[in-house]
Amino acid sequence: MSTLEIKNLHVSVETDDGAKEILRGVDLTIKSGEVHAIMGPNGSGKSTLAYSIAGHPKYTVTDGEVLLDGENILELTVDERARAGLFLAMQYPVEVPGVSVANFLRTAKTAIDGEAPKLRTWVKDVNSALERVTLDPTFAQRSVNEGFSGGEKKRHEIAQLELLNPKFAVLDETDSGLDIDALRVVSEGVNRYTSQGDRGLLLITHYTRILQYIQPDYVHVFVAGKLAESGGRELAEQLESEGYDKYVKAAAAL
């Protein structure tokens, strides 16, 4: 049983006009076995939340903490956070020329587990993880994300999620830009991960579409750098019919 607690998180980025605050006090607690969906309009700071948890150097935490089982992970490096059990599936996975998927996955798995995976089973594990997200095993020999289509990049992220099997996963708009087949493949991968029962998921999305495939236990509306409202699945349905208008107006009125 693990807990990821985000407490009063304030984050800013450097701009030409000086520091700009993007996150303005985010509070959220996720426990193992829970699926949380964060929904919000463009520019609300959803991705900033994802990258800040992962430790991207572009974002400066000015206040608050993120605790993983009581330990403040904001003091850890990016790789230490991953080894502590966090995973970020990125909206725009990065191309790394010349580094093969096979080499990348083996290096990551070795880092996360603290020991090299058993050769006998590892190749099989990689191939079946790729196949489950309908990527041909030849992808293992290609450079990481290089020349992959948008959908292939997202499916590669989900293959990594399954192979690395973190305590908590943050999916940053993994559904955006996917056609319905790819969306189904990705969702099935995410559901295999959560169905273990002891994993936590933070699903960041702009659209309600993916929630037809992945059932959230909690839905949060994210506007202007903080949570505007939290509820159950019914909140997603309400957003589907009413949109974000009333939350955006309320935030603007403050």
Partner 1 sequence: MTATVENVANALELEHVESHLHPEPSYDLAAHPVPSGLEEIWRFTPLKRLRGLFDGAASDAHLSWENDLPEGVTLGELSTEEAKALSVSAPFDRLGALAVANAGGAVLLDIPANAELDRPVRLTMRGDAADTLVWGHVVIRVGAHAKATVLVDHVGSATYDAFTQVVVGDGAKLDLVSLNDWEDDAVHAEQINLRAGRDSEVRVFEFSLGGDLVRTSLNVDYAGPGGSVDLLGVYFADAGQHIEHRQFVDHTAPKTRSNVEYKGALQGQDAHTVWIGNVLIRKVAEGIETFEQNDNLVLTDGAKADSVPNLEIETGDIAGAGHASTTGRFDDQHLFYLQSRGIEETEARRLVVHGFFNDIIRRIGVEDLQERLISAIEDELATVVGRLES
Q: Alpha helices of the chain — where are they, by DSSP H? A: 46-54, 78-84, 101-113, 119-132, 150-164, 180-194, 233-242, 245-253
Segment contacting partner 1 by CB under 8 A, of 10-18, 31-39, 97-105, 241-249:
97-105
- Residue choice 8, 27, 75, 78 for contact with partner 1 (CB under 8 A): 78
Question: Segment 158-197, which members bind partner 1 (CB under 8 A)?
Answer: 160, 164
Nearer to partner 1, 30 or 50 (CB): 50
Residues 61, 67, 108, 251: which binds partner 1 (CB under 8 A)? Answer: 108
Exposure of 125 in the CB half-sphere (CA atoms within 13 A):
16
| Residue 250 CB, nearest approach to partner 1 (Å) | 34
The verdict on 112 binding partner 1 (CB under 8 A) reads yes
Q: Which is nearer to partner 1, 99 or 228 (CB)?
A: 99
Name all contacts of 231-239 with Cβ < 8 Å and 24+ positions apart: 236/37, 236/39, 236/208, 236/211, 237/208, 239/39, 239/208
CB of 91 to partner 1, least distance (A): 12
DSSP state of 148: -
Q: Is position 141 an interface residue for partner 1 (rule: CB under 8 A)?
A: no
Shortest reach from residue 104's CB to partner 1, in Å: 7
Please tell me whether residue 88 binds partner 1 under the rule CB under 8 A.
Answer: yes
CA dist 58 → 10, 22, 44, 64, 187 (Å): 14, 12, 17, 17, 29
Stretch that binds partner 1, among 41-49, 50-58, 63-71, 186-194 (CB under 8 A): 50-58
Using the minimum distance from each CB to partner 1, give the nearer residue, 88 or 219: 88
Helical pair 180-194 and 150-164, crossing angle rounded to 10 deg: 10
Q: Is 147 in the site for partner 1 (CB under 8 A)?
A: no
Alpha-carbon torsion (219, 170, 213, 46), positive or negative: positive
Q: Which is nearer to partner 1, 57 or 197 (CB)?
A: 57
**Among 22, 30, 37, 82, which residue sits at the site for partner 1 (rule: CB under 8 A)?**
82
Nearer to partner 1, 6 or 236 (CB): 6
35 scored as a contact of partner 1 (CB under 8 A):
no
- Which residues in this chain contact partner 1 in the complex, by CB under 8 A? 54-57, 77-79, 81-83, 87-88, 90, 93-94, 96-99, 103-104, 107-108, 111-112, 143-144, 160, 164
